[in-house]
Amino acid sequence: MKDLPKTNLATLENQIPKGKYMLFFTAGWCPDCRFIKPAMPEIEQKYSDYTFLKVDRDENIDLAGEMGIMGIPSFVAYSDGHEIGRFSNPDRKTKQEVESFIDSLNK
């Protein structure tokens, strides 16, 4: 998973004009983020049509604010530069919940 450097929403959307991307908002101090982190390589492999980008919420606090990301971990999906869905709430997320979210995008 690639780390997204500090950026803002306009720059981000210009960097991902084509293809499918999954933003994974996380932070090192977040216990719920540490809970899902071990499952991420499997999720990435299963959904290889997406490029996964790890977004450090603390480093990208302005981006998180612009996008309305209040709880982490959060997932935001993009296709061809446009947001197509998000799984964002303050709850712990399981591998099955993340996969169900991604599956729902392909319907």
- Asked whether the beta carbons of 73 and 1 are under 8 A apart, the reply is no
Q: Which of 22, 23, 33, 36 is catalytic?
A: 33
**33 labelled catalytic:** yes
Mean pLDDT of the chain: 94
In the chain, the percentage of residues whose pLDDT exceeds 90 is: 88
CATH code of 61's domain: 3.40.30.10
Count CB-CB contacts under 10 A for residue 104: 11
- Give 55-72 pLDDT, tens digit per residue: 999 999 999 999 999 899
Structural domain that includes position 60:
2-105
Q: Give me the residue label for tokens 């090192």.
A: 28
Q: Which of 4, 22, 30, 69 is catalytic?
A: 30
Question: Is residue 90 pLDDT above 90, yes or no?
Answer: no
7-to-11, 52, 74 alpha-carbon distances in Å: 6, 16, 17
Into how many domains does the chain fold?
Answer: 1
SS3 104: helix
**77 labelled catalytic:** no
Phi, psi of 20 (to 5 degrees): -110, 130
Question: Is residue 107 pLDDT above 70, yes or no?
Answer: no
pLDDT band for position 103 (cuts 50, 70, 90): very high
- Give 11-42 pLDDT, tens digit per residue: 999 999 999 999 999 999 999 999 999 999 99
